[in-house]
A and B are shown apart, each in its own frame.
Chain A
C-alpha cells in the first residue's frame, strides 16, 4: 500500500473521493500562460534545489521500497501455499511422483500447478522461511515510512521558505509602488492578490508538490513491477487506467458547466442577500419586501438546480472509478485464478497483483485531482506576478539635497498637473506662502484641492513647474525628507492596530510618554483617553473602530502635534464630526496651526475665515487669491461661495 497521503485540504475529508475532493469547481480562474508561469515560479525554487534533489532521492527510495513490499508479501503467501500443497502429498512420495500421479488421473492443470512450485512432501508451512521473508517486509515498510516522512518533512521546509520569500517580496513591492497605482486600482483587488491569492499558492504548493513527485514515481514503479510479474495482467490493469482517466475527464467535463452556473448563481444570490440586508430599511419602507423575496427565490432555485446537477455528475466519478477498479479486481481474480490453476503464475503473485492495482489507481486519481488544484494555483501565481511586475516609483534624486530644519516658505512655481492626459486639472499655478501663514484652499468638490496635497507631499509629481520649500525644489530632495517637513491630518482618519500611545507616537518613534500626553492635551483628547479603562494603553482595533469618529480625528491631530512639523496640511478634516466635538477639534487645530505654515482645505467656510490667504479653486485653476475681506469686496467666486451658505431657497435674487 502506498505510503503517501492523497491530495487533500487539511481538515477536510480525505481521499480523492470526497464531494469536493477533486478540487472541482473550487475556482473558476484559469491560468493564462500555464507553462510560462510555472517556469517562472520554479525559478523561485532554485534556491532550494539541493534539498529538492535530496527529496527526489528520498522519494524514489521510499517508493521503490513501498513497491517492493507487495511482491515480498506475495512470496510469503507462496511459502504458505507450498506448505498447504505439500501437506496434501503423502509422506514418502516425492514431488515428481505426485506430479506423475496427477497426470495419470487426468488432472493436468493441477499437475502443472504442482510442477511450478517447490514442495517438500509431507511437510507443512516452512515457518522459518516465512519468518525471514516477513521480517524483511517489516524492515522494508518501516524504512519506506521513515523515508516518506523525512521527504515530507524536508519538503515542508522548502515550500514554507519559498512562500515566506514570496510574501516578503510582495510586501516590499507594495512599498515601492507609486501612489498612482493604488489610486488607479480597486483596493479590494490588490488586497485579494496579496492575501487570497498568496494563501491559495501556499495551499497549492503544499498539497501538490510532494504529491506530484510521489504519485508519478509510484505509478512508474508499480507499472514496472506489474509487467515483471505478469505482462498479461499488467496489460489488463493498464486498460483500466486510461478507462478511469477517460471516465473521470468525461464526467468532469460534463459537470464543469454546472459548476460554472453554480458559482454564477451563488454570486447572484449572495449579491442579492448583501444588497437586501444592507438596504434593509429601503426595501421595507419602499414596499419591496415581496419582490425582494421573489428575486431571492428565483436565484435560489437556479442555484439549487445547477448545484444539484454539478454535485450529482461529479459525484458519479467516485462510484465509476470504483466500478472500474472492481472490474479490474474481478479480472485479476478470474484470470489470475485460471493462470494459477494451470501453474502459469504463483498464488502469491496474484495477491501481489491485487495490491498493485490498488496501489496503482490511487496515484492516478490523485494526479487528476492535482491537475485541478494546480490550475487554480497557477492562476493565482499569475495574478501575484502581475503585481510584482508593476512599474515602481521613480528613484529619489541622487545626490539629494538634505534639509535640516525647515522654516516653512512654500512656493508653487508655474505648476501644472493632471491625473489623466485628457482631463486637465491644475494649470499655471502660482502661490507664495511665507513661514507661519495660513492658506485656506476652497472650491467645489473635484476642484483639485486634494491634488495640491498630493503634489506637496510628493505622492504625485508635477508635470511641469516646481514646488520649493525654503527655496529648495522638492524634486531634488528625497521623498522622505519632503514628507518629514509636513504634518498631515486627513479626512480619512487612519489608525493602526496598536495602543493609543503607539498611534499618537506614530510620527515620532522616540517620543517619551510625557511628550505623547502633552500632544494629546494640545489636541483636546487627553481627557477622553483618561476616561477609558486602559487609558493610553487601550488597544485600538483595526481602523480604530472602537472609538467614535470625532475622537479618532482628535487622535490624528495629536499624532500631528507630536510629529511637530514645520508645515501643516489639514485636509477636509472636520466634516464628519458632530458640532460639539467639532468645537474641540477647531480649538485643537487652531493651536496646532499657531506658528506654523498651514494649508487648510475645508468644506466649511467658517473654519477658514481667519486664514491669511484664501485660494479659491474652480476646475483646478486658481480663480482668486487673497484675504477674506479683500475677496468679499471683490464679489467674485469666493463671494458667491460664501453667500450660497446662507442663500434663501427659491427666493434668491
Chain B
C-alpha cells in the first residue's frame, strides 16, 4: 500500500511539508498552554501578581488563536490533498480499465471493478484525509507531551511508564477480541440478508411449494444467530471506554498523590501539578486516538491491494506500433488457423478454425453451449486476441490496424442487449453520433421498433433508464439492433440478438435487415432454427471445431450435429 500512497502523494510534497509544520505548531501550541497555566499559578496566583496573570493570559489567548488558524489551514490543505489524491486515483483506474480486453474484464468481474473504482478508492481517500490530520497529530502530541512531562519532573513522569503501557495493553486486548467478532458479525448480517434476498427472489417458488413456514424458520435461526453475536460485540465494546477512562482518572489520582509529595519537599512548584495533569490527559488521549485510527489501516491496505492489482495489469489488447494505413473496403473476413485458449486453461475454446465470411452474405453460426460461438464472434473485432493464427479483413491482419479503425468497421449487438441511460435518440445515435432524426427513425423501422417508440411520450426524446430497465427484453433488443443499423458498418455481428422476439417479429426484422445490408457482411449467432434457416451459409460449431459448413439443406443431409439441433426444435419433415 505504501508505494501506492507514496506514488500519488509525492507530487504534493510541498503541501505535505507545510501540513507537517502546521501540525507541529498545533501540537506544540496545545502542549504549551498547560505550562503557561502552570506559570500563572506559580508566578501569578501564589505571589499575588495580578498583572502577571493578565499578561500570561494574553499570551495564552494569542496562542489559542494561532493554533486555531494553523488547524484551519491544515484542514484546508489536507482536504484538498486527500480529495485530489482520490480524483487522480479514480481517473487512472478508469482509464486503465477502459483499455482492458474482454478476458480481463471477466477475470476481474465487472462488479469487482466497479467496487474498486468507487468504494476502494473511497477507503484510501479517507485514510489519507485522516492520516494527514489525526494520525500525525496524535503521535506528535503524545511524544511532545511525554517530552514536556519529563522536562517538568522526571520522577512524576515515571507514572507514564505504567499508565501508557497499561492503556496500550487494554486497547490491544479489546481490539484483538473485538475485530474478529466484528468480522463474524458482518458474516451473520450477510446471512440474514441472504435469506431475505432469497425469499424475495424465490417468492413464487416458496409459496408454490408451501414452504413459507419453513423459510420463516430458517430466518429465525439466522436472526437469532446474528442477535447473539451482535450482543457479544456490543457488550465487549461497552467495556472499552469505561475502562480507558478509569485508567485516565486513576492516573490523575496518582499524579496528585505523588505530585503532592514532590511539592511538599519542594521539588516541584504547585502550578506544575496542573500542567502535569493536562499532559497526562493529552498523552493518554493521543495514544488512544492513534491506536483507534490505526484500525483504519488494514481495511485501507486491502483496498490498496485491489487497486494496485488493476493498475499493474497491462491491457492485453494493444495498439499496433505502426498501424496499417490501408483500411478494408469490402469486409471480407477470413479466419486462418485460428485458435483461442484462455490463459492457464487446459483446453482451447477454439481449435484451428478456418473459415470465411463473405460480404453481401449472411453467415449464421450455430452450436451447443460451450461450442465457442460467442468466443468466435468476439475475436473478430478484437475484443479477444487469438492465441495463434490470424483474423484477416480484406487480407489485412486485424492486429495491425489501429483499434479505432478496426472498430469503425463493426457494429455489434451482444447477447444481453444493454442500453445507456439517456433518451431513445441518444441510444440510437450511440451507433453514429451525427445521424439525423430521419436516419434514426429509419433504423428503428428496420428493427421493428418504430411501433412502440411512436407510442412513447416524447418519441425519440423518451427517457431510457440505465441498462434500459424500463423496457422489456424484446424492446431492448430491437433498440440495440437499431443502434447497430444506424451505424451501417461493413460488418454486422449479431450474437443471439433475436431470442427475445417472437417468431413474426423475428422474421419481419430479418427481412428488413436483408434489404438494408445488401453489400455488407452479416454474421448471426443464433439458437433458433427459423432464424438461421434462411442464411446464405451456416457454420456449425461443436467443441470448438467446425463440423459443418453449407446451406440449411446441405447440412440436413450431411451434418449429424445440425440435424440434432433442428430435431430438438421442430419436426424434421416439415422443414425441408
Contact = CB atoms under 8 A, between A and B. Distances in A.
Interface in A441-460: 444-445, 457, 459
Interface string A26-62: 0000000000000000000000000000000000000
Contacts, number: 454
Given A13-B130, A457-B208, A145 B114 contact: no
B208 A175 contact: no
B559 interface: no
A359 to B, nearest CB: 11
B203 A179 contact: yes
Contact of A323 (B68, B204, B270): B68
Interface residues of B, number: 172
A550 interface: yes
Contact of B79 (A277, A312, A506): A312
Interface string B63-90: 0110110011011101110111011001
Contacts of B47: 110
A4 interface: yes
Interface in A125-162: 125, 127, 130-131, 134, 137-138, 141-142, 145-146, 148-149, 152-153, 155-157, 159-161
Contacts of A315: 75, 78-79, 133
A483 B208 contact: yes
Given A160-B234, A293-B98, A497-B198, A273 B118 contact: yes
Interface stretch (A215-223, A227-235, A303-311, A511-519): A303-311
A590 to B, nearest CB: 13
B297 to A, nearest CB: 11
Contacts of B403: 284
Given A270-B114, A490-B205, A579-B568, A311 B234 contact: no
Contacts of A182: 200, 203
Contacts of A326: 33, 64, 67-68
A580 B295 CA distance: 54
B242 A488 contact: no
Contacts of B76: 312
Interface stretch (B7-15, B143-151, B256-264): B256-264
Contacts of B189: 199
Contacts of A609: 571
B153 to A, nearest CB: 14
Contacts of B134: 13, 17-18
A337 B223 contact: no
Given A160-B227, A202-B230, A338-B53, A195 B256 contact: no
A645 B501 CA distance: 12
Interface string A292-319: 1100110011011001100110011011
A138 B216 contact: no
Interface residues of A, number: 170
A174 B199 contact: yes
Given A141-B253, A156-B235, A284-B383, A171 B570 contact: no
B209 A506 contact: yes
Contact of A194 (B196, B239, B252): B196
Interface stretch (A431-439, A461-469, A520-528, A581-589): A581-589
Nearest to A146: B242
Contacts of A605: 570
A15 B134 CA distance: 11
A16 B200 CA distance: 39
Contact of B238 (A153, A308, A494, A641): A153
A494 B527 CA distance: 24
Contact of B71 (A146, A148, A319, A606): A319
A263 interface: no
B564 A579 contact: yes
Interface stretch (A72-80, A92-100, A366-374, A619-627): A72-80
Interface string A157-187: 1011101100110011011000100100001
A156 B201 contact: no
Contact of B201 (A127, A187, A320, A509): A187
A269 B93 CA distance: 13
B37 to A, nearest CB: 5
A585 B379 CA distance: 32
A81 interface: yes
Contact of B511 (A4, A113, A124, A650): A650
A496 B197 CA distance: 10
Contacts of B235: 152-153, 156
Contacts of A273: 94, 114, 117-118
Contacts of A375: none
Given A645-B530, A650-B514, A604 B569 contact: yes
Contacts of B328: none
A239 interface: no
Nearest to A188: B200
Nearest to A149: B242
Interface stretch (A328-336, A396-404, A422-430, A531-539): A328-336
A243 to B, nearest CB: 13
Interface string B47-71: 1111001100100110011011001
A408 to B, nearest CB: 17
Nearest to B218: A496
B289 interface: yes
A467 to B, nearest CB: 16
A294 to B, nearest CB: 11
Contact of A319 (B75, B126, B499): B75
B209 A507 contact: yes
A282 B430 contact: yes
Most B-side CB within 10 Å, residue of A172, A284, A507, A606:
A284
A421 interface: no
Nearest to A486: B208
Most B-side CB within 10 Å, residue of A13, A73, A156:
A13
Contact of A76 (B105, B193, B256): B256
A652 interface: yes
B451 interface: no
Interface stretch (B339-347, B385-393, B410-418): B410-418
Interface in A109-124: 109-110, 113, 124
A649 B534 contact: yes
A334 B53 contact: yes
Given A459-B204, A484-B210, A138 B250 contact: yes
Task: Give the 5 A-B residue pairs with the shortest CB-CB distance, closest first.
Answer: A152-B238, A5-B241, A319-B71, A649-B511, A334-B57
9 contacts: A1-B245, A14-B289, A156-B234, A167-B192, A280-B100, A308-B84, A329-B64, A459-B204, A483-B209
Given A13-B292, A330-B60, 10 more contacts: A14-B292, A80-B270, A171-B223, A191-B197, A282-B412, A308-B79, A444-B504, A445-B474, A550-B369, A586-B568
